Structure 1
């Protein structure tokens, strides 16, 4: 499974191999976040990750865990908070969202929402999203927040409901479930995150992940 290389005098494995090795033992949200980051920054491809999982012996320790992390990985995820939120949605058996959903109105591009369902947009709110930094001038912070309010107003004017949450919500699955249920996003009768061949790779219920 991938050859080792030498970097600054140390033997290291390729990015995809390292991610799969980590995914065999780490918590799902951590390994998905790592895979998302690598894919987003083009450190490896999804095909590279699949190749590394395929190279594991059937029944190898952590193989199923790694396969799930790779199948959930998505290069469109922009932050650890978004990755964590998506894993929680999967575990809660919520409908799979679209990512980085483009929203436009008559004036042009409104922006991109982290998550999207029919008629509902979802946003993980982190400080970096708005450019808020420690020590920022109060007036500048107010301008940043005002711009975000205007953006949300334009999204709502398009007939979209908005669900927003922060890190403290994302680490509490039931809290996230309540926020999304308030906008009509509720658990499905049957999980639909994976289809066809990919679905057959994950016979266990999402809550067992």
Structure 2
């Protein structure tokens, strides 16, 4: 890929319209603009690896980028590596060197880069990131069948006593392979924080327009919830199809309320709570709808 060779070898002075990634390394703006967020993360990881002076095994969020795992929260452009020689974790200029032993099968080579295995990477991210981030990653690997719950449980048991293992274990207990996107995963965490009933995921409904699956279903309240991450609002045909689908669901005898939200509401308890209450879903812990 031309962009990769450019970013790894070119200094800003040799580029016509550079985007500076870090000291001494840049990429052409057009090349950078053409990359997806995941491709940008991967490119920065590879660029930093190419300039690494002391050896290390790419790990944590940097390894997650190489494995294609979803991100959540503020981006971390530093290079994270495991350094078995280190006695304490050290954050230097653009590089974080983590303390950590290396077990059998913990290291693989991805496109020439020594990287922690997928299992080790997921466990390390779940231990050291927020609960939401851990759930996003765990839902993803379970949904894709990249890892199974037993393997993750065993790895966490083997890591007992390390920082963050309790949180990672809680996130794994909460993780659900039925969650199909980061937005759904984040929404589930927020729903739990609102003390709402746990939803059924991907519930099928047979309607007069066919069978549809919904993202969230609260049977006791008769409320359907949909995370709106699929429909582009400039696509009139898709919007019309979605409206007819929603109308068919509303005509279903069991559905009494319908909640729809996007990423702006997914991680915000006040905003998502308002949407859910308007649809008829009861919330707990004294939550009140403030207009």
Work out whether the TM-score is over 0.5.
Answer: yes
Which band: TM-score by shorter chain? 0.7 to 0.9
C-alpha root-mean-square deviation of aligned residues, in Å?
A: 1.9
Structure 1 consecutive aligned stretches of length 4 or more whose deviation exceeds 6 Å:
none
Q: Which consecutive unaligned segments of at least 5 residues does structure 1 have?
A: 190-209
Match of 1:187 among 272, 276, 283: 283
Pair 1:19-2:110 in alignment: no
- Counterpart Cα distance in 2 of 1:46 and 1:31: 14
Residues 1:94 and 1:155: Cα distance change in structure 2 (over 3 Å): same
Select the structure of larger CA radius of gyration: 2
Task: Tell me by how many angstroms 1:122 deviates.
Answer: 0.2
TM-aligned CA deviation for residue 11 of structure 1: 3.3
The whole-number CA distance in structure 1 between the counterparts of 2:166 and 2:104 is: 19
Residue 163 in structure 1 maps to residue 259 in structure 2: yes
Report the Cα distance in structure 2 between the residues aligned to 1:47 and 1:13, rounded to whole angstroms. Answer: 19
Q: Does the C-alpha gap of structure 1 residues 103 and 2 become closer, same or farther in structure 2, counting only changes over 3 Å? A: farther
Aligned equivalents of 2:248, 2:116: Cα separation in 1: 47
Structure 1 residue 178: Cα displacement: 1.3
Structure with a larger share of its residues in helix: 1
Conservation of the 8 A alpha-carbon contact between 1:99 and 1:114 = yes
Shift of 1:107: 4.7
Where do 1:132-151 residues align within 5 Å? 132=232, 141-151=235-245
The SS at the match of 1:74 is coil
Structure-2 separation of matches of 1:150 and 1:120: 18
Corresponding residue SS for 2:279: coil
Higher relative CO (CA 8 A, sep ≥ 6), structure 1 or 2?
1
Aligned counterpart for 1:173 among listed residues 250, 269, 276: 269
Whole-angstrom distance in 1 between the partners of 2:104 and 2:191: 32
The count of residues paired between Structure 1 and Structure 2 equals: 178
When structure 1 is superposed on structure 2, of 68-77 and 8-17 the one drifting more is: 8-17
Q: Would the aligned equivalents of 1:5 and 1:14 in 2 still touch at CA under 8 Å?
A: yes
Residue 49 (structure 1) shift: 1.2
What residue is the counterpart of 1:101 in the other structure? 203
Give the structure 2 partner of residue 116 of structure 1: 217
TM-score computed with the length of structure 2 as normaliser: 0.57
Displacement, 1:117? Answer: 0.5
Q: Work out whether residues 4 and 11 of structure 1, in 8 Å CA contact, stay in contact via their aligned partners in 2.
A: no
Matched residues in 2 for 1:170 and 1:16: separation?
27
